[in-house]
A = this chain, B = another copy of it.
Amino acid sequence: MVHPFLFIAPTASMGRGVYTSEDIAAGTVIEISPVVVMSAEERKLLDQTALHDYIFEWGDDSTQCCMAMGYVPVYNHSYKSNCEYVMDYPNQQISVTTVRDIKKGEELLINYNGDWDDETQLWFNAE
């Protein structure tokens, strides 16, 4: 399920991003997408490819990884993001929910650290 208001477009500096063509209220689930779960061994291989920047850690001990379908891999990062993602391990899917009201035309951002306001430094320079 990808919310029909979402669309992908170029950003000023971060390649492509996810935007909304309509206002969205806080607390709205905007996407629920399946993932392909992979082992720690597969993760080592993926980390040597461009997908390093797209996969998510997976599993209770975070040693596995996953590649998500839908728009999940396209959301850019913010240390004060307007959306948050939740991993559903048993059902192998990731959902994305707005954490505040969002205006038409805004870019939808997640915090790659997990919580929307977690300022832990990432592996690349980000705002």
Contact = CB atoms under 8 A, between A and B. Distances in A.
B16 A34 contact: yes
A50 interface: yes
Contacts of A33: 8
Contacts of A30: none
B36 A54 contact: yes
Given A45-B45, A51-B38, A70 B70 contact: yes
A1 B74 CA distance: 12
A42 B51 CA distance: 9
Contacts of A36: 50-51, 54, 73
A59 to B, nearest CB: 14
A36 B73 CA distance: 10
B8 A34 contact: yes
Ranked nearest first, the 5 interchain pairs of A and B with the lowest CB-CB distance are A4-B4, A42-B49, A45-B45, A2-B2, A38-B50
